[in-house]
Amino acid sequence: MTAPRPDWGPWADGLTETERAARCRALAMAVRLHAGPAGADAVEALRRAEADPEALDDAAAALNRLPTLYMRRAVASFAALHRPRRDAA
């Protein structure tokens, strides 16, 4: 059984192609910083998903294969970066 597709980050509904690509890139950076070489598969899958939305399922699967601590740290960094801005109306 495969894990359900996430509904956050680059997997959120209603994103423009530009925003989806930006979120893929930001998450890939967070994974690289927190997981180092252990996150290489997830980083590569997220980089592919920047240009090809069909690769988002592979990116989700690769992210789920990360050791839990690395994934939690990367997701926390991504979430902090994408927190709503206080000056936004």
Half-sphere exposure of 41 (CA within 13 A, CB side): 11
Q: What is the pLDDT of residues 10-53, one digit of tens each?
A: 999 999 999 999 999 999 999 999 999 999 999 999 999 999 99
| 15 CB burial (10 A radius; 0-12, 13-18, 19+) | middle
pTM confidence score: 0.88
Distances (CA, A) of 82 to 1, 2, 19, 27, 54: 30, 27, 11, 10, 23
Binned at pLDDT 50, 70 and 90, residue 7 comes out as confident
Mean of all residue pLDDT scores within the chain: 92
**pLDDT of 4 over the 70 cut:** no
The Cα–Cα gap between 34 and 52 comes to: 24
| Span 71-86, average pLDDT | 90
The Cα–Cα gap between 20 and 67 comes to: 24
